[in-house]
Every structure is written in C-alpha cells, then in structure tokens.
C-alpha cells in the first residue's frame, strides 16, 4: 500500500506541477459539449442528449487522462525502473488507475457543471443521483484505458491505436452509462437505473480485474 501511495503521490505531484492533464481534459470536455449543444436541434435539449453529450466528453477526456498518466513513465525510461523495482506490477497498475480516475473525476465534475448550464438543466437532487453513475463509468473507462494505454504506448501508432481499441470495447458500458444517466437526470426511480448500474458495475469488475492481472504482461518490453 505504501508503494501504491508513493507512485500515486508522485503522479499527482507531477500533475499539480504541470496541470497539463486536467487543463486538457476540462478544455476537451468544454469543446465537445459546446459542439454538441450547437449541433443538436433546439428541440433536443432534454435529458437524453445531455446524458449522451456528457458521456462523449467523458470518453474522449478519459483517453487523454490515461495516456498522460502513462506517458510520464515513458520519459527517461522510468517505466523500466518501476518494473525492475520491488513493486508488484499489479500495484503499479492500481496506482496508474487511481491517478487516471482522479484526473477523469475532476474533469467530469467540470463537465457536469457545463452540461447543466448548456442544456438548461437544474442543479439539484437529480445531479447528485448522476454522480454514482458517472463515477462508475469513470472507473471502468479509466481501468480499460490505462491497460490499453500501456499496450499502445509501446507502438509508434499508439495514439491511433488507443481509441480504436478502447471505444469498441467500452460500447456496452457506454450504452448502460448513457441510459442510467438519462434516467437519473429525468428523475426516474432508482429501480429504473438499477439494471443499467449493474451492467456498469459488471464491466468495472471485468476491466479492473483484467488490468490488474494483465498489466505485467503488456507493460514490459518483450
């Protein structure tokens, strides 16, 4: 646990020092929401387009966040030192996942605020009910993107490879997330969100377990 915290503290310190990930994630979320709010017809300002727009922003910002969390390790070959140190690769993955999740969560809070403003929604209990859906989605996507970023970072076409791998694999969770978010924003009862939340939770377990078990094999050099 101490080693996990040491890696996470180092990643957060690097981020606080540069601010690049958070600024880029928030800017990207803002850009996507602005484009969508103007691209959608005026009649389509209900909760479903808002939920869809929020998840599009989350997917793109999540890919950026996961890439950033691992790219710092590629500078000066630091990932080699991490893998050769007496730290379990699964612990390295857990620390990287935690960092990517925190970056995404910060960006998502900003994206929710912008969504409320752009789609004329009301701040209130419905937004609070949206939080667990978004946090589950962010955890699942951060888990998947961190694992895939470790693979794609080793290839020259890594920036292209990551979205090509991550988006199709995340589609089932994405559908569940959009549906659960729309239900939360529409103020539907918890039972209406329940099935979608279970799907999100199942994908979270799948992605986190896969990353935890496979990171050792994808982060090395051969």
Partner 1 sequence: MSPAIVEARQLAMNFGATPVLRAVDLRLEAGRGAIITGGNGAGKSTLLKLLAGINSPSHGQALLFGTEARALAAGQRRRVGLMTHQSFLYPNLTARENLEFYAALYELRAPRDAAERWLTRVGLAAAAGERVRALSRGMEQRLSAARALIHEPNAILMDEPFAGLDSGGVAIVGALIKEALARKSAVLMTAHGALAIEGVELERFELSRGRLAAPKAETRTGRLRSLLGG
Q: Which of 24, 40, 87, 151 binds partner 1 (CB under 8 A)?
A: 87
Query: Considering only residues 126-155, where is the footprint of partner 1 by CB under 8 A?
Result: none
Give the count of residues interacting with partner 1 (CB under 8 A): 24
5-43 exposure pattern, b = at least 16 Cβ within 10 A, e = fewer: eebbeebeebbeeeeebbebbbebbbebbeebbeebeee
Q: Which of 42, 84, 157, 191 binds partner 1 (CB under 8 A)?
A: 84
Q: Which of 33, 82, 116, 138 binds partner 1 (CB under 8 A)?
A: 82
Q: What DSSP state is assigned to residue 188?
A: -
Cα separation of 107 and 105, whole Å?
A: 5
Asked if 164 touches partner 1 (CB under 8 A), the answer is no
Tokens 């900003």, residue?
110
Cα separation of 215 and 218, whole Å?
A: 5
Q: Give 7 or 99: the residue with its C-beta nearer to partner 1.
A: 7
Contact stretch for partner 1 (CB under 8 A) within 8-16, 23-31, 43-51, 128-136? 8-16
**Site track 16-45 with partner 1 (rule: CB under 8 A), x = hit:** -xx---------------------------
Cα separation of 140 and 32, whole Å?
A: 21
Q: How far is the CB of 94 from partner 1 (least distance, A)?
A: 14
Nearest to 140 by CA among 203, 191, 91, 78: 203
Q: Which of 31, 39, 78, 190 binds partner 1 (CB under 8 A)?
A: 78
Q: Give 17 or 156: the residue with its C-beta nearer to partner 1.
A: 17
Tokens 């929710």, residue?
112
Structure tokens at 63: 């890919």
Contact stretch for partner 1 (CB under 8 A) within 1-9, 186-194, 199-207, 208-216? 1-9
Tokens 């978010």, residue?
181
Residues that bind partner 1 (CB under 8 A): 2-3, 6-7, 10, 13-14, 17-18, 72, 75-78, 80-82, 84-88, 221-222
């Amino acid at each position: 646990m101490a080693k996990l915290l040491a890696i996470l503290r180092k990643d957060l310190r690097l981020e606080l020092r540069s601010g690049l990930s958070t600024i880029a994630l928030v800017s990207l979320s803002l850009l996507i929401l602005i484009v969508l709010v103007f691209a959608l017809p005026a009649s389509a300002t209900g909760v479903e387009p808002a939920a869809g727009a929020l998840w599009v922003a989350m997917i793109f910002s999540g890919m950026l966040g996961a890439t950033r969390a691992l790219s710092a390790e590629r500078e000066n070959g630091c990932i080699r030192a991490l893998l050769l140190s007496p730290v379990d690769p699964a612990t390295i993955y857990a620390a990287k996942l935690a960092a990517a999740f925190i970056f995404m969560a910060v960006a998502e809070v900003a994206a929710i605020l912008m969504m409320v403003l752009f789609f004329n929604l009301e701040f209130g209990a419905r937004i609070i009910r949206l939080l667990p859906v978004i946090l589950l989605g962010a955890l699942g996507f951060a888990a998947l993107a961190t694992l895939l970023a470790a693979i794609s970072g080793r290839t020259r076409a890594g920036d292209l490879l990551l979205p090509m791998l991550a988006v199709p694999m995340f589609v089932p969770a994405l559908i569940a997330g959009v549906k659960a978010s729309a239900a939360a924003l529409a103020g539907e009862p918890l039972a209406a969100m329940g099935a979608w939340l279970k799907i999100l939770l199942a994908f979270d377990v799948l992605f986190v377990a896969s990353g935890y078990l496979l990171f050792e094999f994808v982060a090395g050099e051969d």
